[in-house]
């Protein structure tokens, strides 16, 4: 049987350049099942180099990706394209990447199938955006509920606290009973704090933009929290990109975000550890097509604490989810709301046993808010 060689010749240089510039991964497999072409995006997504895979059987080179092997084989034998594999996950450098894989038959002008083209699209940012949207949906429902509830609770709570204060005054200062009104007042104040945080979460008030010196905000928080960390063996390392200009943001809200994140990190490191706070500019980060290409600032707060368990990672940031005694579980939910209001994004990476890294992405320039 005649051997099909789909390896492009020099005269195909123009087409190769085009393929190399495509953002999606493209792999071509010939009729004999050998890989004959692979663009740089495919190398990056699959963690395999062209040198390793060219002229090697696809089923061998990608033996750890049975879904892809099956798709290629089916298209090769049936001539029918397949593209419903939305959840294929490639393992490159130990990282899981959600990809959308499509196989189409490579046909000659006479309709004869001479191979299969496999395209791979990295779905990471789309998945992240989808998760952020789901979270925002959950928050807005909660917000409406919370606002109503908070309003109903505030008045009776004020009554309870007032009565406890009266009782405290009426009692003999030396009385053993003094402890009880004090507990009542303290706990009423705690409820009050939770309600205020809930209202914050539910508040429709958007950010009040002014130019904010990000590093000054971070520096002040770190200075105060260094004191709070006190005798614990926590070292604090900062790495700021001095070229970051003032951001258009709500300073009080940003302070709240980074205070919550840094407090969480310090609270996680009960045995001591290292807190790292860094800032940098991501030059061409783009949030979907509607936002266009915006320059984003990325602030990372990383700790060497116990990390978040696989079981809990999807729950953190859900209002009231807390593993802490006395924690409200509203801290991260508020952070997420504020960051979303600033048209940014928050990402949590955590490895149990190694630590947690929270990245906050904020647009460098805010386009004027309408209305
Ligand atoms: N840096 C971190 N390391 C490990 N776990 C974390 C970290 N940050 C958050 N978490 C987990 O996420 C949960 C929710 O955090 P969140 O800040 O929303 O609430 P909280 O800290 O429990 O309460 P509050 O912020 O009201 O004091 C925490 O209880 C903890 O389990
Ligand atoms: Mg917290």
In this predicted structure, the answer to whether residue 302 has a pLDDT above a threshold of 70 is yes
Residue 360, pLDDT score = 96
Closest ligand 1 atom number to CA of residue 334: 18
**Is residue 150 in contact with ligand 1, taking CB distance under 6 Å?**
no
Higher pLDDT among residues 295 and 63, named by residue: 63
Report all structural domains of the chain as residue ranges with CATH numbers, in order of start: 11-122 (3.30.450.20), 123-204 (1.10.287), 207-371 (3.30.565.10)
For the stretch 129-168, pLDDT in tens is 777 777 767 666 766 677 777 778 888 888 899 999 999 9
In this predicted structure, the answer to whether residue 340 has a pLDDT above a threshold of 80 is yes
Residue nearest to atom 28 of ligand 1 (CA): 322
Residue 244, pLDDT score = 92
Average pLDDT estimate for 69-75: 93
pLDDT averaged over the chain? 84
With cut-offs at 50, 70 and 90, classify the pLDDT of residue 12: confident
Residue 112, pLDDT score = 86
Residue 294, pLDDT score = 63
In this predicted structure, the answer to whether residue 351 has a pLDDT above a threshold of 60 is yes
Beta strands 273-282 and 296-303 are antiparallel
pTM: 0.61
**Is residue 194 in contact with ligand 1, taking CB distance under 6 Å?**
no
Q: Among all ligands shown, which has an atom nearest to the Cα of 268?
A: 1
Locus of tokens 């294929």: 88
In this predicted structure, the answer to whether residue 369 has a pLDDT above a threshold of 60 is no
User: What count of residues does the chain have?
Assistant: 371
**Is residue 316 in contact with ligand 1, taking CB distance under 6 Å?**
yes
User: What's the CA-to-centroid distance between 332 and ligand 1, angstroms?
Assistant: 7
For the stretch 218-241, pLDDT in tens is 999 998 888 777 667 899 999 999
The mean-pLDDT minimum among 1-15, 61-75, 82-96, 196-210 falls in 1-15
């Amino acid at each position: 049987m005649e051997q099909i060689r789909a390896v492009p010749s020099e005269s195909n240089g123009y087409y190769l350049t085009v393929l190399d510039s495509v953002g999606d991964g493209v792999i071509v497999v010939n009729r004999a099942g050998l890989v004959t072409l692979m663009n740089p995006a495919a190398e990056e997504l699959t963690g395999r180099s062209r040198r390793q895979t060219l002229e090697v059987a696809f089923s061998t080179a990608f033996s750890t990706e049975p879904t892809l092997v099956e798709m290629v084989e089916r298209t090769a034998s049936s001539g029918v394209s397949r593209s419903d594999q939305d959840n294929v996950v490639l393992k490159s450098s130990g990282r899981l990447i959600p990809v959308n894989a499509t196989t189409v038959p490579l046909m000659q002008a006479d309709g004869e199938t001479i191979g299969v083209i496999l395209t791979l699209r990295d779905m990471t940012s789309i998945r992240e955006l989808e998760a952020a949207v789901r979270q925002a949906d959950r928050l807005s429902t909660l917000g409406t509920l919370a606002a109503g509830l908070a309003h109903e609770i505030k008045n009776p709570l004020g009554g309870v606290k007032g009565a406890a204060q009266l009782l405290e005054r009426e009692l003999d200062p030396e009385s053993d009973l003094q402890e009880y009104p004090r507990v009542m007042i303290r706990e009423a104040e705690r409820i009050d704090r939770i309600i205020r945080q809930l209202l914050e979460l539910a508040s429709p008030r958007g950010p009040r933009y002014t130019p904010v010196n990000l590093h000054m905000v971070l520096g002040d928080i770190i200075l105060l929290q260094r004191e709070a960390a006190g005798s614990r063996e926590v070292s604090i390392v900062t790495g700021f990109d001095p070229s970051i200009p003032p951001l258009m943001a709500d300073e009080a809200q940003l302070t709240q975000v980074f205070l919550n994140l840094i407090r969480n990190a310090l609270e996680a490191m009960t045995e001591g550890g290292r807190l790292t706070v860094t800032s940098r500019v991501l030059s061409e980060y783009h949030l979907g097509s509607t936002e266009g290409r915006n320059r984003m600032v990325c602030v990372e707060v990383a700790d060497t604490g116990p990390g978040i368990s696989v079981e809990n990672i999807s729950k953190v940031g859900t209002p009231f989810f807390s593993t802490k005694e006395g924690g409200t579980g509203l801290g991260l939910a508020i952070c997420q709301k504020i960051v979303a209001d600033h048209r940014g994004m928050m990402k949590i990476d955590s490895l149990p046993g190694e630590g947690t890294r929270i990245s906050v992405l904020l647009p460098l320039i805010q386009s004027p808010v309408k209305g």
